[in-house]
Structure 1
Amino acid sequence: MPVHRRQPSIELLELMGVVRENGNDQTSLPPVHTPLSYDYVLVAKTMDNQEREAFKKQTEYIEELKKKNMKVTKIIDDDLVFYGIQAPKEIFEKYRYLLKVSDACNWSSDQNIVPLSTRIRIVHFILNHSPIRTGESLRDLLKTKVFEARFCLHEKKKQRELKESWARWTACLQGQPITAVRNYFGEKVALYYLWLGWYTYLLIPPALIGVIVFLYGLAFFNSSPLIKEVCEADTVMCPLCDKRCKVWQLSDTCTYAKVSLLFDNNGTVLFAMFMAVWATLFLEFWKRHRASYVCEWKVSDWCEEEEELILEIVNNAKCEPKKYKHSYLRSTLVLICVTAMILVIIGLTHALVVFRVIAAVLLAEGSWEFLSNHSNSGAMMLGAVLHYLIITVMTRINRIVAMKLCEIEKTRSFAATEKSFTVKMFTFQFFTYFSSLFYVAFFLGRINGHPGGYVRIAGKWRLEECHPSGCLTDLFIQMAIIMVLKQTISNVFEFAGPWLCRWLKRKRTQKLQRKCAHCYLKDESEAKHGAELCDNCKLRDWLSNYRLNDVDSFSLFNEFLEMVIQFSFTTIFVAAFPLAPLLALINNVIEIRLDAIKMVTLERRLVPKKTNDIGVWIDVLEAIGVLAVIANGLVIGVSSDFIPRLVYEYRYGPCANGNATDVDCMAGYINNSLSIARMGDQSILKEFSPNQMVTASGLNVSQCSYKDYRSNEDYSLTPQFWLILAVRFAFVILFEHVVVICKFIAAWFVPSAPMQVKNDRLFDKLNRLKEELNSFEA
């Protein structure tokens, strides 16, 4: 094995005036030597006498690679040892032949050259399936620090082209060179950016309509009788907590009522229906969009299982495939663990509820008057911030648990492990993000009881109540805080971390650039250490790649997970937050370039992976689409005041009999939705003290109002409550059936692939059969 040690001559290089300051710049001078392209690089620490066993394993693994005719170049740099791996041509010839005779893979006669991305994928598979005598694979050797790192090299020319055309902030409003991305990073990465770009493009219509719905609410901001009734009311409301909380004026919450109307109006109903259908159209049009590219890339009939078998044969012609196995015991154990984990996450949601209840009491009893008057809103905002912190912590825990469960399953292949991990991780993250939102949407203010019969936690703290204008604003606040915090903070850390690491390492990188300058001299005779200096060039390149941020097989998974969670926010509770598509659109325009810059310039090159779709994520997106129909129907029917207002307008309001012409049909709605508690009742005397029944102006009152439909005598539910409940359920059923029918019609109406694509595939198969027939006859 050749060993090359660096003997730099920096002074000579500086005298020649060929020192470069930017590692990505290329001199105009032709290279003396044309360096060999390396498919992979392994990095290890130099071993001392105490690490003899690790050095032995390291040497044994390199010998295993040499047995497979791999060319290994070793270069030592201080405390690091670099191994450049170059696979023989025969390996790629075998792959090309097996791919050609495979029934599940497309083949084209122009595919006579194996691109570097394919070479990297093949070598990556061989490296991971070349165990040493103890049975340890490269992954095991990396875990035990026998090797420090492994990576494939960035190609400087293509890297620069991608940076100029794609991975820069000034290209935010430009299209994406998807085919160039595919040629460099493989189909898997290319399809992620294709999907993200398509998702961002189709967010434009819902973003515009969401803004229109918001402006619709804004147009009736001051003219709405509901807002006027709240702002001009002299109604005294019951205390929101025990002891120090006092009665309060309904007019004190005028601003809150105005905000509620912005997100709880008739326009949100139509917008929610539109978004449910949009989710289906998005997926159907995505299938068409994807089909055009996978047909162009000749991977329409690609089969992951057959690709794996081809790679196994290329690695070892005498290989035996790993058999499929299923264990009901393991599946049961995993199911129990998943259920237990979901219950833990739901338990954290209950802890958030308790926190908000206690925070509301403490804020109400505090010395700050502003916080006392807005204790419920303050508690809701604090709860949203705490929820975000819990999400941050639980994301790490969820990942660890999901990986452990995949180990218990003992899946057959890495692809199966990745699919299993994706489903589990998304499930855990979904419950982490949305459990609290489901509580706010469907339970807040509906299980808190009434004066004289409040529901309490541990018999002490009262549950939260909704505002007389409805609970939808609480859901909006919760969503807005989590969505803005998540997108802003995650993007800052996602970019700032890798950029800071690169900035800190720049000095040493510039030092290595000076050592490499001899490789670009005009005349080879001018270089006194030609071969050795070109090893320095290799070393400069390898070190610059080594110092980039590490990537693994789940790096792309993290990006997908982030976007699919955002898709969930955009569709599931969009009735409560019409501006969510707009925020998602703005974020995605930034996200595309942020991910591109990070992947091209700040991270090691991802191993190019072959695929023809986005995998299990398409099933996750379809499940979210179905859940969006259910959730939006329930939000409008249960959470918002759309149904109570509708019932009041046509059954109890001034227009109910059809005779009123000069009165707004919603006049008196707020008072109609309130019930009265009197101090003369024994149960109320136990609930509220006389000190609490004093207004801010010092006026003693004998009764107060609260939001509910109950009798003023015995606090039983009124017939209006039962009528509203019946209409709520009827609306939810009708809404969901109508939207589901629209979804099926949309899915049927939009073909899964363009006719041109189907015809191209048809003729490709015909030509392939004809070629095979000609070969047979010859």
Structure 2
Amino acid sequence: MFFKNVEENIEMSATQKDGHSTEPLLPSTPVQRTFDYVLVATKVDDDTDQKAQRQRAFIQQLEMKNVSVTEIIHDDKVFFGIRAPREMFEDYQYLLKVSDSCNWCGDVRGTVTQATRIRIVSFILHQTYINTGENLEELLKKDVFETMFCLHERKEQKQLKQKWARWSALFTGQPVNDVKCYFGEKVALYYLWLGWYTKLLVPAAILGVVVFLYGLAFFNTNLLIHEVCNSNITMCPRCDKRCKVWQLSETCTYAKVSHLFDNEGTVAFAMFMAIWATLFLELWKRHRARHVSQWKVYDWCEEEEELILEIVNDPNCKPKQFRHSYLRSTMVLILVTLMLMLIIGLAHALVVFRVVAAPLMSEGKWEFITDHANTVAVMLGAVLHYFTIQIMTRVNRWVSIKLCELEKTNSFAATERSFTVKMFTFQFFTLFSSLFYVAFFLGRINGHPGNYVRIAGWRLEECHPSGCLTDLFIQMAVIMLLKQTLNNIFEFTVPWLKSCFSRNTAKKLQRKCGYCYRKTCRDEQGQVEPCDICKLRDWLRNYHLADTDAFSLFNEFLEMVVQFSFTTIFVAAFPLAPLLALINNIFEIRLDAIKMVRLERRLVPRKTNDIGVWTKVLEVIGVLAVIANGLVIGVSSDFIPRLVYRYRYGPCVNGSTQTNCMQGYINDTLSMAFVTHPAVRSDFSEGMMVTDTGFSVTQCSYRDYRSDEDYALTSQFWLVLAVRFAFVILFEHVVVVCKFVAAWFVPNNPIRVKNDRLHDKLARLKEELSEIKRGLSTDV
């Protein structure tokens, strides 16, 4: 029954339908004639329906441009196969040849590839308007057409599956040139960049593991850990009401974890990663230059490319004028500021959650949660932060799109750049606002006994006596693991399930047409032309794949650049971040490849010679990495207080060599609070000053440098603060100088690329001169 309906549809499609011919307009070619695009619409029986009229109007506009349209009806769907005429691509090649910057591009010479055809036809489809002023994008939004997609090429797709898009090729190189020929330069440069980033993560991951092992090597012999674990110091209550005093030794495990990520090796590693980020970018520019020179797109200009496509689409077109409006720019700036304030407000809400959750959990029934209320609150806050990120990602995208529409940029490329900057800015604040609070504000604005800072009556959370770096580590570890793991699972699972459905549907079309020869038919001239059943089989196979759009590649870039931010900005608090990024990226490359080649519709191939505005974003991240790591070591870490104690207040100051220079450090960082003091009495009731053994105390310790009498800051606090800021300034200046030296030392373009371009230009000039002489001799 199914094939009977298909054969009836074939007979109908060979005649006039709705006033337009469905016969191909392309001249015969010796190769199989493929379709450049497929439009899908819901079948409408009523010819007077507005959707049907708009469908016909759009198809007629395409036919006026000599575009061939083949229509096949299947069930309740109508498939329109789009094939552009050969003359259109000849015009494109000629205009490309006479342009200022692309006269030696790869598309000038040889046959036009299918990737180039798809790119040109995609532009034409989006720039075709019906008499109501609506283009294809608006028609898709109004359900006039259901979807549109370009077709996978079976032979090339199979080759990519064998070489690249399979898990068994996990540790093999990438066929970047084949990816470029199939998906275009933009996708190829993404995988080239991702592969280069992954390769350079290897030394960073190794050094991060060395720093971690360094902390692990002195795990059992570290004096500071022993001072915490063996102390009998009574600490002040962490919260109001039911919280009681506690023993410092209860946080022995916390102190051990802190030492793993807060040791002397962290400083050297942070400096290395800041310089590594610069070297990575400079070496990437050289790596990119070699490939884009080989692909003949080094001098490619996106502005001229769009002008050429405009002329190919409409010879009478007019250029879109550049425009700027101070009113629009001011509105965009105000709206961006309001959005950032909202995101920062959400970060404050997470702070309030932790402030409220810690004391509530300390009053719970479960002993484990009660004993580790602060740690559990931090972890819950990190998980809640992850879900906030997932929600805000969708909100950020919608806002960024609306802001770009408000700007009214000149071209698609300009819109893409503007959207990228806005989306990344929103995502950066969404991801890092909470981390910045933990790194630089946690435990520093909570006050002291007698003068605690409160939010709605709840005390702000305090730093652990071993430092706040572990809180930052927990926050980063939870977000990185959840974000990378869960995102990859969802990215792969959804297209895979849809692919399974596609395979089940395709089984209905296994029978071949009786006139097929090796899955193709021959027309009257004996040339290869697939029959409608074969066309439909191929179209349905692509139709049931997961959809792709302009955001598909952007999402991959955004995910990796955010990971790059985690790997560099707060690496001082999490030396294992490069290792996690390396492991993730090894699988990410194959995951994205399998998804693009096997599970998703074909991406529209885009031409480019760089990763665009992402290079600037990575440079900004490199600068932020220097600032943030300097502040983490100087402000968040205990590296500076330990240094000051060793050389200014420790037992070795007087020349003693019999004791460890850090002996007594933990006790030195604590101040004493007395319940009998009038200022403290209001904060600590008698019930709070009873230990778990039932022993009442009249004094307790808290982390700060304050006088025991009037609770004023001591001279040691000011000395430590001065050294902290001095270290931050020195660290940042040294690293910035090293970054500039590294950027100067590594040229952006290899000598080989410069010489190749020189020879190409010389060959082109000679060829132009030869053509002119041939033309003159012919005239004579």
TM-score, normalised to structure 2's length? 0.94
Question: What is the DSSP-based 3-state SS (H/G/I as helix, E as strand, rest coil) of the residue aligned with 1:83?
Answer: strand
Letter in 1 for 2:587: I
Letter in 2 for 1:367: K
User: Any conservation in 2 of the 1:710–1:716 contact (CA below 8 Å)?
Assistant: yes
Specify whether residues 522 and 302 from structure 1 end up closer, same or farther in structure 2 by C-alpha distance, changes over 3 A only: closer
Equivalent of 1:535, from 517, 532, 536? Answer: 532
Does 2:662 align with 1:666?
Answer: yes
Aligned-residue offset at 1:48: 2.9
Letter in 1 for 2:6: R
Q: Can you list the C-alpha shifts for 1:374-427, whole angstroms capped at 9, x where unaligned? A: 111111011001000100100010011110111111111111111111000000
Which residue of the partner structure matches residue 744 of structure 1? 740
Q: Can you list the C-alpha shifts for 1:449-499, whole angstroms capped at 9, x where unaligned? A: 0011100002x1000000110000000000000000000000000000110
Which residue of the partner structure matches residue 357 of structure 1? 355
Aligned-residue offset at 1:5: 5.6
Which residue of the partner structure matches residue 672 of structure 2? 676
Letter in 1 for 2:202: I
Does 2:9 align with 1:6?
Answer: no
User: Any conservation in 1 of the 2:31–2:528 contact (CA below 8 Å)?
Assistant: no
Question: What is the DSSP-based 3-state SS (H/G/I as helix, E as strand, rest coil) of the residue aligned with 1:675?
Answer: strand
Equivalent of 1:219, from 217, 220, 239? Answer: 217
Letter in 2 for 1:461: W
Letter in 2 for 1:140: E
User: Any conservation in 2 of the 1:231–1:251 contact (CA below 8 Å)?
Assistant: yes
User: Any conservation in 2 of the 1:516–1:540 contact (CA below 8 Å)?
Assistant: no
Q: Distance in 2 between matches of 1:46 and 1:315?
A: 28
Letter in 2 for 1:739: V
Aligned-residue offset at 1:34: 7.2
Q: Distance in 1 between matches of 2:529 and 2:729?
A: 76
User: Any conservation in 2 of the 1:360–1:376 contact (CA below 8 Å)?
Assistant: yes
The 5 A counterparts of 1:120-199 are 120-199=118-197
Q: Distance in 1 between matches of 2:529 and 2:6?
A: 7
Specify whether residues 247 and 537 from structure 1 end up closer, same or farther in structure 2 by C-alpha distance, changes over 3 A only: same
Specify whether residues 518 and 445 from structure 1 end up closer, same or farther in structure 2 by C-alpha distance, changes over 3 A only: farther
Question: What is the DSSP-based 3-state SS (H/G/I as helix, E as strand, rest coil) of the residue aligned with 2:35?
Answer: coil
Does 2:243 align with 1:245?
Answer: yes
Instruction: Give runs of ≥4 in structure 1 deviating > 4 Å.
Output: 515-518, 521-525, 530-533
Which residue of the partner structure matches residue 577 of structure 1? 574
Q: Can you list the C-alpha shifts for 1:247-285, whole angstroms capped at 9, x where unaligned? A: 101001000000000000000000000000000000000
Q: Can you list the C-alpha shifts for 1:198-230, whole angstroms capped at 9, x where unaligned? A: 000000000000000000000010101000100
Specify whether residues 308 and 475 from structure 1 end up closer, same or farther in structure 2 by C-alpha distance, changes over 3 A only: same
User: Any conservation in 2 of the 1:515–1:533 contact (CA below 8 Å)?
Assistant: no
The unaligned stretches of length 5 or more in structure 2 are 10-29, 775-780
Q: Distance in 2 between matches of 1:209 and 1:533?
A: 57
Which residue of the partner structure matches residue 372 of structure 1? 370
Q: Distance in 2 between matches of 1:619 and 1:353?
A: 32
Does 2:300 align with 1:302?
Answer: yes
Specify whether residues 257 and 51 from structure 1 end up closer, same or farther in structure 2 by C-alpha distance, changes over 3 A only: farther
Question: What is the DSSP-based 3-state SS (H/G/I as helix, E as strand, rest coil) of the residue aligned with 2:622?
Answer: helix
Superposition RMSD on alpha carbons, in Å? Answer: 1.8
Which deviates further from its counterpart, 417-426 or 50-59? Answer: 50-59
Which deviates further from its counterpart, 493-502 or 741-750? Answer: 493-502
Q: Distance in 2 between matches of 1:8 and 1:381?
A: 63
Which residue of the partner structure matches residue 259 of structure 2? 261
Q: Distance in 2 between matches of 1:506 and 1:103?
A: 48
Q: Distance in 2 between matches of 1:389 and 1:50?
A: 48
Question: What is the DSSP-based 3-state SS (H/G/I as helix, E as strand, rest coil) of the residue aligned with 2:531?
Answer: helix
Q: Distance in 1 between matches of 2:64 and 2:215?
A: 73
Which deviates further from its counterpart, 344-353 or 43-52? Answer: 43-52
Which residue of the partner structure matches residue 59 of structure 1? 56
Q: Distance in 2 between matches of 1:465 and 1:350?
A: 16
The 5 A counterparts of 1:557-572 are 557-572=554-569
Which deviates further from its counterpart, 179-188 or 687-696? Answer: 687-696
Q: Distance in 2 between matches of 1:61 and 1:406?
A: 27
Which residue of the partner structure matches residue 591 of structure 2? 594
Which residue of the partner structure matches residue 392 of structure 2? 394
Q: Distance in 1 between matches of 2:472 and 2:145?
A: 50
Specify whether residues 524 and 261 from structure 1 end up closer, same or farther in structure 2 by C-alpha distance, changes over 3 A only: closer
Which residue of the partner structure matches residue 419 of structure 2? 421
Which residue of the partner structure matches residue 91 of structure 2? 94
Aligned-residue offset at 1:160: 0.4
Which residue of the partner structure matches residue 231 of structure 1? 229
Aligned-residue offset at 1:315: 1.1
Does 2:446 align with 1:448?
Answer: yes
User: Any conservation in 1 of the 2:417–2:613 contact (CA below 8 Å)?
Assistant: yes
The 5 A counterparts of 1:617-632 are 617-632=614-629
Letter in 1 for 2:419: F
Aligned-residue offset at 1:127: 1.1
Specify whether residues 739 and 524 from structure 1 end up closer, same or farther in structure 2 by C-alpha distance, changes over 3 A only: closer
Letter in 2 for 1:716: A
Q: Which has the higher contact order (CA 8 A, sep 6+)?
A: 1
Q: Can you list the C-alpha shifts for 1:521-580, whole angstroms capped at 9, x where unaligned? A: 69989xxxx999821010000011011111111210000000000000000000000000
Specify whether residues 190 and 549 from structure 1 end up closer, same or farther in structure 2 by C-alpha distance, changes over 3 A only: same
Which residue of the partner structure matches residue 46 of structure 1? 43
Which residue of the partner structure matches residue 270 of structure 2? 272
Specify whether residues 522 and 489 from structure 1 end up closer, same or farther in structure 2 by C-alpha distance, changes over 3 A only: closer
Task: Give percent identity, aligned residues only.
Answer: 69
Which residue of the partner structure matches residue 772 of structure 1? 768
Letter in 1 for 2:687: N
The unaligned stretches of length 5 or more in structure 1 are 10-32
Which residue of the partner structure matches residue 73 of structure 2? 76
How many pairs are equivalent? Answer: 746
Letter in 1 for 2:558: L
Specify whether residues 517 and 277 from structure 1 end up closer, same or farther in structure 2 by C-alpha distance, changes over 3 A only: farther
Question: What is the DSSP-based 3-state SS (H/G/I as helix, E as strand, rest coil) of the residue aligned with 1:41?
Answer: strand
Does 2:718 align with 1:722?
Answer: yes
Aligned-residue offset at 1:49: 2.3
Q: Distance in 2 between matches of 1:746 and 1:412?
A: 37
User: Any conservation in 2 of the 1:106–1:298 contact (CA below 8 Å)?
Assistant: no
Q: Can you list the C-alpha shifts for 1:666-722, whole angstroms capped at 9, x where unaligned? A: 110000000000111012211111111111111111110000000000000000000
Aligned-residue offset at 1:7: 3.3
User: Any conservation in 2 of the 1:643–1:728 contact (CA below 8 Å)?
Assistant: yes
User: Any conservation in 1 of the 2:513–2:533 contact (CA below 8 Å)?
Assistant: yes
